[in-house]
Amino acid sequence: MVRDTVEHLRAEGQRVFVDCEHFFDGYVANRAYALEVVRTAAEAGADVVVLCDTNGGMLPHQVEEVVADTLSVGARLGIHAHNDTGCAVANSMAAVRAGATHLQGCLNGYGERTGNADLVTSVANLELKLGMQVLPEGALAEATREQIEHEEPELLDAIACTSGCAWCCIFLEGDGGLISEAEAVALHTALSPFAGTADGRDWHPEACAALDPATRLCRAYDARPMICRTFVSTDAGACRENAEGGDADYAYVKLGYKARFLNVGGTNFSIDYYQGNDFLTAGDESGSTAFTVLQEFDNQDLEVFASLRRSSYEDTSAVSYQDVDSILIGGRLKF
């Protein structure tokens, strides 16, 4: 049947790709028969015989062994991997390493059940990790551009430069990050040779100027600051000013009330509130609020207290900080 079908299509002038569904399971169950099917398809004129891990149950070392063995029949092989074990891309890479020259997959890994091999990841791995040029020069970077420009345009439109901004990066969230003076000096030094030349903004108006417009690679990669989000200031002095936090200020207030509700001793209530600004970095805010109850036991020279406190912190970086709630329970024995 395989031979007749392939020969018929070839006689009609068609290129033929034979997908061998459940090939790997078939190979495990009956190796000789599985190899004979591949050999027959190749001898009949199939351009590629695609080995399919249809149920997605293989692991990379198994795929590499089976593909290497199947090459012995003299066919050009392809790989069609499913992601049920989370190995679709890894299995595809293993097949290529073993000698497959055709790879099937879906954009972003879409497909039945848990999906197929992600073509974007697979192509990137082939080009960047295995050194195989499978796309025209520079085309790989288009995958990122298409995702940014077409999938989330509203996020891209929301990006805006800060006053005095030198380089604006494309990031999908956050409004900036502070860097140290040393980081600023290193970054400016790395980029100064490119002053006056085309930069990342020639590729996209909101792209980072540190990017090479042709390759989209960072030309200051080794000098990038630890915090590299949306902007860095134009000079080291501005970075120093930000790092020092500007003019810090704070306010603190505490109110208390004491009454005798119980015969054992007085009951004390207090509320305190703290608000601080610009202590760590310019624009940061920290706060703390607490409610405390203290009960006195006069005959035992004992005080027992419980306190509930909520603390918060925010700054101008893209980091989102969670409020912290704490409960403090204790006592003091007088002697």
pLDDT digits (tens, 9 = 90+) for 240-251: 454 454 567 889
pLDDT of residue 143: 64
Helix (H) / strand (E) element for 328: namely strand 324-333
pLDDT of residue 288: 96
Low-confidence stretches of the chain (pLDDT < 70) are: 141-184, 203-208, 216, 221-222, 224-247, 279-282, 316-319
User: Which pair of structure tokens corresponds to residue 243?
Assistant: 């790092």
User: Would strands 48-53 and 17-20 be described as parallel, antiparallel, or unpaired?
Assistant: parallel
Give the helix, strand, coil percentages of the chain, each rounded to 5: 35, 25, 40
pLDDT of residue 229: 41
Give the count of beta carbons closer than 10 Å to the beta carbon of residue 113. Answer: 10
Q: What is the pLDDT of residues 222-278, one digit of tens each?
A: 676 655 543 433 344 444 454 454 567 889 999 999 999 999 999 999 999 999 987
pLDDT of residue 242: 47
Assigned fold of 2-134: TIM Barrel (3.20.20)
Measured CA distances, 335 to 82, 182, 300, 331 (Å):
74, 55, 10, 13
C-alpha angle 204/209/213, rounded to 5°? Answer: 55
pLDDT of residue 42: 97
Q: Render the burial of 209-219: b for 16+ CB within 10 Å, e for the rest.
A: bbbbbeebebb
pLDDT of residue 219: 78
Mean residue pLDDT across the chain: 81
pLDDT of residue 62: 97
Q: How far apart are CA 171 and CA 177, in angstroms?
A: 12
> What residues does 302 pair with on adjacent strands?
297, 333
- Tokens 């630890």 label which residue? 226
Helix (H) / strand (E) element for 11: namely helix 2-11
